[in-house]
């Protein structure tokens, strides 16, 4: 990556940005053409992806710059409708790269398939029978999807979780059996669901219960990714705040999100701004990642911040983020969607573990930028510039008019559509 070509990337127009990425050796000539064509999804592919398809719905697609993750530089693809997110991610990544970058840990990549059994006469006895037949259960599950076993993956462990009847919420006894499945490079929904459904009859015969369903769990607690960064206070100082003050205010911003679910929800939404954008750009299932992340945020019994910001012994600011990240690099729409394929190529065709490292780092960086802005100048200052631009475009400004109207709008007392239209009307034709 020859980063000098990316200088003031945001000030370039789209064509110049594509040229700059090519000059920096991040994309090829072929990639340039694909981008110029907006990574268009062919009609036939779109028609095969969903039912009742009538159009394709586009989102802006950009790159988060300056990411240094486990010693490797990345331009990160992000698909997103919200202004400021990519700018915030890139600015966080710049500061964090000056501090040595993100370090990540990916513990394991094991997915969970659940089989829910009802009307089980004796929960504890059934649990024991299930555990005693672990090998048989694994064999039957693996027979249902031999190709993943051939590649070194497959069902590896069994867990049984009796859930007793709860009079308060009026629920009966359930026995939930978990299959722990290694899906290798895939997120593996089809593999997991096939295995979970295949062993329903056997579990019914073992437990004398009735299977209610077999399906993956999006609460992927066996597929956790962690990012960490450590930032010296010298990189945090702002005009109105010393580096120590910014550090302490960031820590306090995290503390309020640890104790207050109202704040935690917004705090975590900011993290998901970055995570969803990369998950979406890489053709992964952002709903499953969202669901898993929020469930993980509530694992203590209260919904809390997903990140943790603390002070290191030497006074540095230390941030960590751990989330379940059941993403894949093959399967689903990944190998058929041109945008998804392009994103994987842009990232150097990472393994699923490497992609997890990238995504969790973007989430941590996104949170750093958001709370740093919130506890210093506030976020509106940065947002208003982009808001002014969308107002200028909504008012009908075209080409060079957009920047002129945006600038005048920023100086005006009332930043709204009516003012944008007035400014536009007063411009010479
Ligand atoms: C806006 O999309 C995200 C933020 O609200 C996140 C936060 O409050 O931490 C700025």
**pLDDT, tens only, 182-199:** 999 999 999 999 999 999
Q: Residue 386 pLDDT more than 80?
A: no
Measured from the CB, is residue 7 less than 6 Å from ligand 1? Answer: no
Residue ranges per structural domain of the chain: 38-106+223-377, 110-217, 381-426
Confidence of residue 325 (pLDDT cuts 50, 70, 90): very high
Nearest CA to ligand 1 atom 4: 270
CA 429 to chain centre: 45
Ligand 1 centroid, distance to 367 Cα (angstroms): 8
Whose C-alpha lies nearest to ligand 1, atom 3? 270
Least confident of 166-170, 205-209, 228-232, 376-380: 376-380
38-106+223-377, what's its fold? 3.90.770
- Paired sense of beta strands 174-182 and 110-118, if any: antiparallel
Q: How far apart are CA 335 and CA 329, in angstroms?
A: 8
Mean pLDDT over 307-311 rounds to 98
Q: What is the pLDDT of residue 410?
A: 86
Q: Which of 104-108, 211-215, 344-348, 378-382 is the least confident region?
A: 378-382
Report pLDDT digits (tens) over 159-171.
999 999 999 999 9
**Residues in Cβ contact with 163 at an 8 Å cutoff, skipping those fewer than 6 apart:** 171, 173, 174, 175, 176
Output the residue whose Cα is nearest ligand 1's atom 2: 270
Instruction: Give the model's confidence band at 367: pLDDT under 50 very low, under 70 low, under 90 confident, else very high.
Output: very high
Token match 């790269």: residue? Answer: 97
In this structure, the residue with its CA closest to atom 7 of ligand 1 is 267
Q: Which mutation among 85, 255, 266 tests ligand 1's pocket best, with the greatest number of atoms within 8 A of CB?
A: 266
Ligand 1 pocket: which of 81, 87, 252, 273 to mutate (most atoms <8 Å of CB)? 273
- In CATH terms, is domain 381-426 a member of 3.30.70.360? no
Average per-residue pLDDT in the chain? 96
Mean local confidence (pLDDT), 114-121: 98
Judge whether residue 40 has pLDDT over 80.
Answer: yes
Quote the ligand 1 centre to 151 CA distance (angstroms): 42
The pLDDT value given to residue 106? 97
Using CA atoms, how far residue 120 sits from 127, 159, 200, 214, 408, in Å, is 10, 16, 13, 16, 71
Is 262 near ligand 1, meaning CB less than 6 Å away?
A: no
277 within ligand 1 shell (Cβ under 6 A)? no
Per-residue model confidence (pLDDT) at position 390:
82
**From the CB of residue 321, how many other CB atoms can be counted at a distance below 10 Å?**
28
Confidence of residue 225 (pLDDT cuts 50, 70, 90): very high
Q: Architecture of domain 110-217 in CATH?
A: 2-Layer Sandwich (3.30)
Q: Is the CB of 386 under 6 A from ligand 1?
A: no
Specify the ligand 1 atom closest to the Cα of 379: 10
Residue having the nearest C-alpha atom to atom 1 of ligand 1: 270
Predicted confidence (pLDDT) per residue in 54-109, tens digit: 999 999 999 999 999 999 999 999 999 999 999 999 999 999 999 999 999 998 89
Query: Active-site residues: which are they?
Result: 82, 269, 285, 383
pLDDT at 122: 97
Contacts of 168 by beta carbon, 8 Å cutoff, 6+ apart: none
pLDDT for 249 equals 98
């Amino acid at each position: 990556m020859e980063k000098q070509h990316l200088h003031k990337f945001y000030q370039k127009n789209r064509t110049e940005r594509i040229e700059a990425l090519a000059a920096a050796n991040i994309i090829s000539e072929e990639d340039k053409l694909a981008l110029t064509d907006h990574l268009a999804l062919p009609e036939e592919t779109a028609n095969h992806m969903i039912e009742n398809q009538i159009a394709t719905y586009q989102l802006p697609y950009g790159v988060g710059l300056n990411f240094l993750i486990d010693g490797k530089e990345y331009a990160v693809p992000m698909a997103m409708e919200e202004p400021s997110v990519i700018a915030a991610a890139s600015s966080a990544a710049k500061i964090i790269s000056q501090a040595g970058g993100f370090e990540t840990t990916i513990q394991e990549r094991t997915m969970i398939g659940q089989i829910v059994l009802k009307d089980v006469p004796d929960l504890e006895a059934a649990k024991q029978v299930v555990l005693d037949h672990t090998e048989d259960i694994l064999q039957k599950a693996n027979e249902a999807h031999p190709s993943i076993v051939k590649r070194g993956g497959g069902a590896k462990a069994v867990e049984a979780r009796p859930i007793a009847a709860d009079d308060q919420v009026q629920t009966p006894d359930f026995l939930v059996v978990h299959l722990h499945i290694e899906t290798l490079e895939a997120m593996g929904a089809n593999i997991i669901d096939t295995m979970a459904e295949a062993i329903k009859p056997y579990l019914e015969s073992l437990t004398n219960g009735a299977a209610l369903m077999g399906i993956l769990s999006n609460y992927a607690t066996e597929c956790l990714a962690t990012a960490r960064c450590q930032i010296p206070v010298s990189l945090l100082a702002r005009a109105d705040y010393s580096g120590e003050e910014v550090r302490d205010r960031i820590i306090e911003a995290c503390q309020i999100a640890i104790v207050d679910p109202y704040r935690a929800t917004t705090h975590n939404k900011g993290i998901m701004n970055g995570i969803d954008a990369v998950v979406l750009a890489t053709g992964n299932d952002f709903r499953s990642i969202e669901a898993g992340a929020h469930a993980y945020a509530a694992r203590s019994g209260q919904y809390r911040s997903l990140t943790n910001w603390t002070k290191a012994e030497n006074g540095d600011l230390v941030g960590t983020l751990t989330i379940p990240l059941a993403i894949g690099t093959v399967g689903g729409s990944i190998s058929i969607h041109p945008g998804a394929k392009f994103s994987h190529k842009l990232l150097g065709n990472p393994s699923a573990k490497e992609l997890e490292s990238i995504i969790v780092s973007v989430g941590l960086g996104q949170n750093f930028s958001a709370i740093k802005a919130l506890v210093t100048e506030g976020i509106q200052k940065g947002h208003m510039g982009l808001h002014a631009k969308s107002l200028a475009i909504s008012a009908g400004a075209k080409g060079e008019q957009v920047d002129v109207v945006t600038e005048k709008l920023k100086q005006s007392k009332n930043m709204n559509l009516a003012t944008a239209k007035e400014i536009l009307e007063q411009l010479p034709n």
